[in-house]
Amino acid sequence: MPSDNINFRVIIALMLYLISLVAANTLGLKLMPFIFGTHLSVAVFFFPFVFLTTDVIGQVYGKQMAKNFVLAGMLSIFLFLLYSLIALALPWDQAGLKFQGGYNAVFGVSLRMSLASLLAYTIGEYQDVVAFFFFKRRLDGRAFWLQSNLSNLWSQFLDTLIFMIVAFGGVYSARTIILISLPWWLYKVSMGFLYTPLSYLGIYLLQYENKSN
């Protein structure tokens, strides 16, 4: 049935959106060396999919559907953090003690860091939706790549700055926070730009489905 096909495509898009979000928040703990002595989190390869997916969904299904994706992501982060706290609080069996150190190191993120991630994601993603449709109106719906990357430029800036301030404010100086935030923001924006062709593929697949139904 046509409606079943539409729902299936949206579910696939939502799956990509949520798995990219979870991957960025968990696998992103790993840092790798980058140019000029800087460091880059591996999350830079996954997180751009989060913002690009909402742009694609918004382009095809409208602003409300994009907001629904953001809400689903926000609730997913909250539940994951809640589950993590429960898992960390439960006692270890003797047979699993050899894994305790690594397990706690990976999932034992401080409450402040967790709140920083949730707050930055929520504000950044909602702003991405708002900015995307703002630029869409300004450009009369033309040049999706420009709408997407302009909104990504703004929303990724907010996401990065809010996370750094909430997570490290009072721990590092304002100058240090800025020096950490700037390259991280530029990395994420650059990866989002490189992934733009995948956005066009997503739009094509979703629009092709709508036309065929």
Judge whether 147 and 132 are in contact, CB under 8 Å. yes
Evaluated on CA atoms 91, 94, 96, 102, the torsion sign reads: positive
Q: Is the pLDDT of residue 7 over 70?
A: yes
- Exposed / middle / buried, residue 168 (Cβ in 10 Å: 0-12, 13-18, 19+): middle
Cβ neighbours, 10 Å, residue 35: 7
| pLDDT band (50, 70, 90) for residue 19 | very high
**Alpha carbon separation from 75 to 21, 72, 106, 118, 148 (Å, rounded):** 12, 5, 21, 9, 24
The residue count for the chain: 213
Q: Is the pLDDT of residue 2 over 50?
A: no
| pLDDT band (50, 70, 90) for residue 192 | confident
Percent of the chain whose predicted confidence (pLDDT) is above 90 = 9
Q: What angle do CA 102, 108, 109 make, to 5 degrees?
A: 130
Judge whether 78 and 118 are in contact, CB under 8 Å. yes
Say what the pLDDT of residue 14 is: 92
pLDDT tens by residue, 27-80 = 877 777 777 766 777 888 888 888 889 999 988 888 899 999 999 998 988 888
Closest CA to 201 of 12, 2, 65: 12
Say what the pLDDT of residue 1 is: 37
Residue bearing the bigger pLDDT, 179 or 20: 20
109-117: long-range pairs with CB below 8 Å, 24+: 109/84, 112/166, 112/167, 113/167, 114/81, 114/84, 115/166, 116/162, 116/163, 116/164, 116/166, 116/167, 117/25, 117/77, 117/163, 117/167
Cβ neighbours, 10 Å, residue 155: 27
Domains in the chain with CATH codes: 2-212 (1.10.1760)
CA dist., res. 34 & res. 195, Å (int): 19
| pLDDT band (50, 70, 90) for residue 211 | low
Percent of the chain whose predicted confidence (pLDDT) is above 70 = 90
CA dist., res. 189 & res. 48, Å (int): 8
Residue bearing the bigger pLDDT, 106 or 140: 140
Q: Is the pLDDT of residue 111 over 70?
A: no
| pLDDT band (50, 70, 90) for residue 210 | low
pTM of the prediction?
0.79
Q: DSSP assignment of 67-86, as one string?
A: HHHHHHHHHHHHHHHHHHHH
